[in-house]
Amino acid sequence: MSEQTNIDGINEHDRLSDELESRKNNLQRFIDFGIDPWGGRFQSSHAINDLHTEYGELTKEALEEKNLNVSLAGRLIAIRKHGKAIFGNVLDSTGSIQLFFSNSALAGNNVVEGNSETNQWVLLDLLNLGDWIGVSGTLMKTKTGELTIRVADWKILSKALRPLPEKYHGLQDKELRYRYRYLDLIVNPEVRQVFKARTEVTKVVREILDSHGFMEVETPALHQVAGGAIARPFVTHHNALDIDIFLRISLELYLKRLMIGGFERVYEIGRIFRNEGMDRDHNPEFTMLEAYEAFGNLQTMMELTEEICRKSCEKVRGGTISAFREYELDFGSKFAEKDYADLVEEYSGVDIRGDRNRDNLFKACKNLKLDVEDNATIGQLIDQLFDELAQPNLIQPTFVTNYPIEISPLARQAVGKPGFVQRFELFVAGHEIANAFTELNDPVDQRARFTEQAKMRAAGDDEAHPVDEDFLYALEHGMPPAGGLGIGIDRLVMLVTGAHSIRDVIFFPMMR
């Protein structure tokens, strides 16, 4: 969109469009009449949806008797002209309502001093679909029973120079819907609902955490070491310092620093960035909730996770069942709990409890026809067995516990289970939704884990966790024992809204 613009600020290429030309003429005519077409403050008496809920059930006669005056502002989304009567519909952020304009009510309203040629009836001709208007009048019902405002006074609040998408089919083209989300929002009511649901979910999350005494905080998005998760970061450069820095791939390590600082319960809902593939479950930037509870553990994190999922579903769906893709997800029952190694054995036949010999694991993966990298590490091989064979079977909410240590460098080791850590992930509909640890607060063990990761990195695993000396320095000052939890907010919203793609729950998803 870098074509040159003319002095009117409208793309030169579009000057040829009749429609644009006509709308600009209407704009100019408002200006010629001395009317500011860009509006200003407008005091609404009601939100549209409130009118429907408060008065929608009243009879025509009851409304006449009430003689209720209302004023509201919104976008004109439909217009039906009938000579000396005009019906229209306005849309505000809560819904839409019908307007009734009549010559008899408006022709006497001179809008410009000393110009009796111009009145609010004549000016209706200058309106186009998409314009913002403010109206006031009485609430009534038409003979077909539709709640309607009999307009006594109206004004233009903003002019739309471009037309809305087609009124019946709306905007269908998915590329246009994602790229021009504002149009999608105007014409597709169900899209508005999805994003309202998204906000409900984050609200529920905040309410729950706040009520448990957690403090919401903000931590840096620019990191010198991209840690706290196993993923490829976006790299950028700080000019003044002349150093490369990374966009964060998780919130974990700064939130832990805050616990070291003495804030015992903290959480952040923040955008994180991973430089990896995009598909219906992945967007390069997405929203993560991370919460840390000093003196908590895996059990308290499970309870928190269940509460967040259950209440999010209830808030959005009005019940604990959600339809997602081909599944009926039940967030009402106690979530299942399964052991990682059991699941791997159940679906692959491979026992990862005993001696984890890399070559044996490699052969086992090959025998199972998994597409493994020749230089895959033990962690990657185990992970692949789980991800490809076990994970797709986890449909109803299931906590998977006791993760292998190789893929969990920030979690405390399991008691009496060498090679495993105190960690769970929650899977729903075959997708990872949450990830939690009893956090590793032993700085000596943490250094050893980072060192192990460094070896994997040297062995070709470019996603292995880097050694973070600054974090180790912090940890050496003492972090309370804690439970920590991460929840992918976008995926949670997908589950409770039934969204097909992550792009349907992100206002402006990544597009080429």
Minimum CB distance to RNA smaller for 11 or for 320: 11
- Residues 275-294, one symbol each (x = binds RNA by CB under 7 A, - = not), give -xx-xx-x------------
What's the rounded Cα separation, in Å, for the pair 300 and 437?
A: 10
Selected binder of RNA within 124, 133, 140, 156 (CB under 7 A):
140
Where in 338-397 is the site for RNA (CB under 7 A)? Answer: 371, 373, 380, 383-384, 387-388
Q: Smallest gap, in angstroms, from Cβ of residue 485 to RNA? A: 13
Minimum CB distance to RNA smaller for 398 or for 408: 408
Q: Smallest gap, in angstroms, from Cβ of residue 105 to RNA? A: 8
Q: How many alpha carbons fall within 13 Å on the CB side of residue 501?
A: 13
Selected binder of RNA within 10, 152, 221, 231 (CB under 7 A):
231
Minimum CB distance to RNA smaller for 313 or for 405: 405
Answer yes or no whether residue 154 interacts with RNA by CB under 7 A: no
Answer yes or no whether residue 334 interacts with RNA by CB under 7 A: no
What's the rounded Cα separation, in Å, for the pair 201 and 492?
A: 8
Amino acid (one-letter) located at 500: H
Q: Smallest gap, in angstroms, from Cβ of residue 438 to RNA? A: 15
Q: Smallest gap, in angstroms, from Cβ of residue 358 to RNA? A: 16
**C-alpha separations of 21 from 26, 31, 87, 125, 143 in Å:** 9, 15, 25, 15, 38
Where in 400-419 is the site for RNA (CB under 7 A)? Answer: 403, 407-408
Selected binder of RNA within 264, 314, 432, 452 (CB under 7 A):
432
- Residues 76-105, one symbol each (x = binds RNA by CB under 7 A, - = not), give --xxxxxxxx-x-x--------x-x-xxx-
Question: Tokens 């008496």 belong to which residue?
Answer: 45
DSSP 8-state code for residue 173: -
Minimum CB distance to RNA smaller for 29 or for 196: 29
What's the rounded Cα separation, in Å, for the pair 282 and 502?
A: 7
**Residue 358, both tokens:** 């890399």
What's the rounded Cα separation, in Å, for the pair 342 and 352?
A: 9
Q: Among 362, 375, 373, 374, which Cα is nearest to 459's?
A: 375
Selected binder of RNA within 118, 120, 148, 438 (CB under 7 A):
148
Q: How many CB atoms lie within 10 A of CB 101?
A: 25
- Residues 452-491, one symbol each (x = binds RNA by CB under 7 A, - = not), give -----------x----------------------------
- Phi/psi zone of residue 262: left (φ > 0), alpha (ψ -120 to 50 degrees), beta? left
Which listed range, 43-51, 168-176, 188-196, 205-213, lies at the site for RNA (CB under 7 A)? 168-176
**C-alpha separations of 23 from 50, 78, 128, 155, 164 in Å:** 32, 16, 7, 17, 12
Q: How many alpha carbons fall within 13 Å on the CB side of residue 331?
A: 29
* CA-only gyration radius of the chain, Å: 29
Selected binder of RNA within 39, 95, 163, 443 (CB under 7 A):
163
Minimum CB distance to RNA smaller for 293 or for 383: 383
What's the rounded Cα separation, in Å, for the pair 500 and 191?
A: 12
Selected binder of RNA within 59, 69, 142, 193 (CB under 7 A):
142
